[in-house]
Amino acid sequence: MSAIETTYREALRQALIDAMNEDPDIVVLGEEVGLYGGAYGVTKGLIDQFGPERILDTPISEAAIVGAAVGAAMSGLRPVAELMYVDFVGIVMDQLANQAAKIRYMFGGQIGVPMVLRSQGGTGRSAAAQHSQSLEAWMAHVPGLRLAMPATVNDAYHLLRHALTLPDPVVFLEHKGLYVQKGTLDTAQPDAPWGKAVVRRAGHDLTIVTYSKMLLESLAAAEQLAAQGVSAEVIDLRTLNPLDEETVANSVRRTHRAMVVTEAHLTGGFSAELSARIHESCFDHLEEPVARVAGEDIPIPVSPPLERNAVPNAQLITETGLWLVQRKAPAWAL
3-state secondary structure of 128: coil
The span from the CA of 308 to the CA of 40, in Å, is 21
Dihedral in degrees, nearest 10, Cα atoms 128, 129, 134, 139: -130
Please tell me which residue in 62, 82, 174, 263 is annotated as part of the active site: 62
Q: 3-state secondary structure string, 312-333?
A: CCHHHHHHHHHHHHHCCCCHHH
User: Does residue 172 contact residue 8 with C-beta atoms inside 8 Å?
Assistant: no
User: Among residues 151, 311, 314, 312, which one has the least CA distance to residue 220?
Assistant: 314
State the Cα–Cα distance between residues 329 and 68, nearest whole angstrom. Answer: 53
The answer to whether 313 and 286 are in contact (CB under 8 A) is: no
To the query of whether residue 175 is one of the catalytic residues in this protein, the response is no
Tell me whether residue 141 is one of the annotated catalytic residues. Answer: no
Report DSSP state, residue 125.
Answer: S
Burial of 21 (0-12, 13-18, 19+ CB in 10 A): exposed
Distance from C-alpha of 24 to C-alpha of 4, rounded to nearest angstrom: 26
Q: Please name the helix (run of DSSP H) or strand (run of DSSP E) that holds residue 48, with its range, or none.
A: helix 46-50
Say which of 31, 131, 158, 319 is annotated catalytic: 131
Active site residues: 62, 131
